[in-house]
Structure 1
Amino acid sequence: MDVSLSRRRLLAFSALLPLATIFPGRAQAQRFDPSRIIALEWRPVEMLLALGIMPLAIADKRNYHRWVGEPKLPDTVVDVGLRNEPNRELMQRLNPSLFLISKGFGPAESDLKPIAPCWSTAFNDASGRPLALLEKDLIRLGQFLGREQQAVDHLAQLHQGIASTREKLPSDPRPLVMFSFLDSRRVMIFGRSSLFNDLLERLGMRNAWDGKTNAWGSAVVGIETLVRLENVTALCFMHGDDDPVKTVAKSALWQVMPFVRDGQLHLLPAVWFYGGSFSALRFCQLLPEALCA
């Protein structure tokens, strides 16, 4: 992949984003102390880290390490409580310069503005391509915080990582079914409009799940639904709790799953389903390791 070309394309694209529609004037970026930004959803956490900024605080730090995994956060990052209902008094005491929030999840912007200004991002839009939307929003955030070059450089690394992964994949891979256990009877499965599906398309692979999904690209289904998926490779994402897998593995139903019967089940460590560029890169790292093992 020509990284210099990728950077020129990103710079040309970023020039099309009118800063006036984001905040009146590039100089406004100097108002926000980057060491005092609170990110209340994990995708914005990844976006800050991509720009070389360590958040002052995040929501639900314990589960961040369980469900997101990478990048690791130091002990100095404060945990402000639940993502959908963070500790308001603690956030006020922290005196943040800015909140990063996700549209459609967590506290309303109007509830946070009395404490500090807000910058919002969305996981998805009508295009159903969350990775493409992330690329636009990372440039937008970089412009907003005066770190546009860091955004451009990071996206070049992302594109190179995707290109490198594509070269490592088998020449004729099976379609993938990707899921994570919720309990011993249900899985969360990922299809159209998911981060993983967007990545598969860029990698030249097919998603075996063509069923309905929500706006986040996922659906909750009974494990019996997986029986109909023939000639596929299964990726099961683990999050520190293997009890459901141990329970299901003993069942007769699980033994007749085509991907179990064919030896095509791979248990992978945590990758955040609704994440950003670091989640995408982690997926790209784990995928060839699983398929080429």
Structure 2
Amino acid sequence: MQTHDAYRRRLLQAMAVLPWWFSRRAAAAPIPDAARIIALEWRPAELLLALGVTPMAIADAPNYRSWVAEPALPPSVLDVGLRNEPNMEAMQRLAPSLILLSEGFGPAPASVASIAPTMTFRFSRQGDRPLAVARQDIAALAGRLGMPDRAQRHMADLDRQLDQTRQRLASGSLPLPPVLLFSFIDSRRIMVIGKNSLLQDVLDRVGVANAWDGEENVWGSATVGLERLAQFRGVRALCFHRGAQDPLAEVAGSTLWQTLPFVREKQLRVLPAVWFFGATLAAMRFCRMLGQAMEPRA
């Protein structure tokens, strides 16, 4: 009888801690298969790549390669249609473990929740700058995937890159001119990057002024006619080129282009594409380019 009672007490004690044990396991459990994640917008795709995880599929892969360019997508990454209208049937067949979205662009989480769990990110939040939000998002995604150490290492790399670029720029003998950041949409319109942008956060950190002081949207950009650039003098213009689709070669022969002050003053620098609405990897890519683009040319 005593043996039976002792066994019964031990069994009851074990059953009492089972709910606690299972709740701890559930809270700590990462996404079961990080290799089966779909990113329906390019910023979440970048967040994933920053953690060293390749998405199974993204939306609009061809335009990713033009507008984002780096980090490059491996050939294994599948395409699931447009960012604002992804192919639901294709996603169902892929059976993802997680779907990443951006708030304010693309489908609502409820529309894809039947396919897989979702995680949504915002470009900026009230009171927080885009780069600060990107840091928060990297940490949140790393937590969801059970990879907090990767996020910490990545953030250390980001800070190191920003500090090195600031030191490099500060070591010059001449004052740094303000920069005008833009990319062509077509032969008559450009997208100019303003002070609410991710790139502005990089400029602030490395000590370079942004020449644009006009209108901009919540993502820190504005679409304007090419003629608006004629008002900027004494600036260094950084034009982000989108490869074969970019109309710069066509525009460069026009009279308007040749009369722009920064063209006449040889203060134009043509740079590879950077995703203006990205996160930490886009900030690091711009940082590397900026360090070289601000050096004077003989």
Measured against the shorter chain, the TM-score band is: 0.7 to 0.9
Corresponding residue of 2:95: 95
Partner Cα distance (2:256, 2:128) in 1: 33
2:156 equivalent to 1:153: no
Q: How big is the shift at 1:25?
A: 7.8
Structure-2 change in CA distance of 1:128 and 1:222 (3 Å) = farther
Q: Once structures 1 and 2 are overlaid, which stretch shifts more, 83-92 or 25-34?
A: 25-34
TM-score by length of 2: 0.86
User: Following superposition of structure 1 onto structure 2, how do residues 1-293 of structure 1 map, counting pairs within 5 Å?
Assistant: 27-127=27-127, 129-169=129-169, 170=172, 172-241=175-244, 244-292=247-295, 293=297
Q: 2:31 touches 2:144 (CA, 8 Å); kept in 1? A: no
Superimposed CA distance per residue, residues 122-175 of structure 1 (whole angstroms, 9 cap, x where no aligned partner): 011223621111011111111122111110110110010011111222452100
Partner Cα distance (1:243, 1:52) in 2: 30
Q: Once structures 1 and 2 are overlaid, which stretch shifts more, 126-135 or 211-220?
A: 126-135
Q: Once structures 1 and 2 are overlaid, which stretch shifts more, 229-238 or 46-55?
A: 46-55
Q: How big is the shift at 1:28?
A: 4.9
Q: 2:187 touches 2:251 (CA, 8 Å); kept in 1? A: yes
TM-score by length of 1: 0.88
Q: Runs of 4+ in structure 1 displaced over 6 angstroms?
A: none
How high is the sequence identity, in percent, across the aligned residues?
51
Partner Cα distance (2:81, 2:180) in 1: 33
Structure-2 change in CA distance of 1:118 and 1:277 (3 Å) = same
The aligned amino acid for 1:41 is E
3-state SS of paired residue (1:174): coil
Corresponding residue of 1:21: none
Partner Cα distance (1:111, 1:75) in 2: 28
Partner Cα distance (1:130, 1:139) in 2: 14
Partner Cα distance (1:284, 1:29) in 2: 35
Partner Cα distance (1:25, 1:122) in 2: 29
Q: How many residues align?
A: 271
Q: 1:128 touches 1:193 (CA, 8 Å); kept in 2? A: no
Q: 1:176 touches 1:233 (CA, 8 Å); kept in 2? A: yes
The aligned amino acid for 2:153 is D
Q: How big is the shift at 1:197?
A: 0.9
Partner Cα distance (1:199, 1:186) in 2: 25
The aligned amino acid for 2:119 is W
Indicate the structure (1 or 2) with the bigger Cα radius of gyration. 2
Q: Once structures 1 and 2 are overlaid, which stretch shifts more, 260-269 or 122-131?
A: 122-131
* RMSD across aligned positions (CA): 1.8
Q: How big is the shift at 1:243?
A: 5.6
Partner Cα distance (2:268, 2:128) in 1: 27
Q: How big is the shift at 1:99?
A: 0.6
Unpaired segments ≥5 residues, structure 2: 1-23
Q: 1:26 touches 1:144 (CA, 8 Å); kept in 2? A: no
